[in-house]
Structure 1
């Protein structure tokens, strides 16, 4: 009689466990929404028209040499070998500092060059941002190419500025 009672209790426990496992995926799918009520999101352009033109010119200039990415944050392609507070401080300094264009070597997957577009000589917060970007890239051994936004660039000129023979690209 004790064996029957133990068997019934064990079967009941197994049924409860099985029932919980079947119910848990449904509960996971009914999470609260991420956005508060009344908030709407819409896609926004990543690049201005002028940046798209420059992006396409850079792609044509480096077509067989590099992959081109835009608006990449510094922390995404710089490895920081530091510990504790020093590492945290560097991450804080570079956290919200994207670069305009990154030229990535497709074989090594490392950033070979960064292209920054400058409107006018920077002052204040923009100058601080430019100084941080320049310092980090220099310390990481990544070449920085500065371009003026008001200047009309051609594919051969860009290839030359990026250290490529215009006939190669």
Structure 2
């Protein structure tokens, strides 16, 4: 049985191990060079036992907010390339040891799908069907931060499962 998470306050302040799936049912993972900020956060078909697909949801002081910490590389958190200046529009999701994005979770319809929203900018984590190959190194898997419901709301739908 799969347990879905769509209410962060249900965690009661405890770090929780999860997997995050995009609308294509591909798992969000940490890939690339794990030694520096800028590591790509992408989505690929699930690989059983891959630690780069496991995330800790770390509740923040405001119980409705959290960060996403890599289990396989615990010094890295989900962030985005423009986080330092809050320039989020079409900003690639990356791993960062210094600028973790503080998210809030908003349920879509009756769930279990959620939007993951940057609490500082109200931008939304977005997984693309395809992106411009001139812009992205892997045009099938980019994840960016975008305005809410832009370009398509279904691309901002994620499912979080308890591991």
Where is the strand percentage greater, Structure 1 or Structure 2?
2
Where is the helix percentage greater, Structure 1 or Structure 2?
1
Between the two structures, name the one with larger relative contact order (CA 8 Å, sep ≥ 6). Answer: 2
Fold match (TM-score > 0.5): no
Tell me the TM-score normalised to structure 1 length.
0.28
Higher-Rg member (1/2): 1
Tell me the TM-score normalised to structure 2 length.
0.29
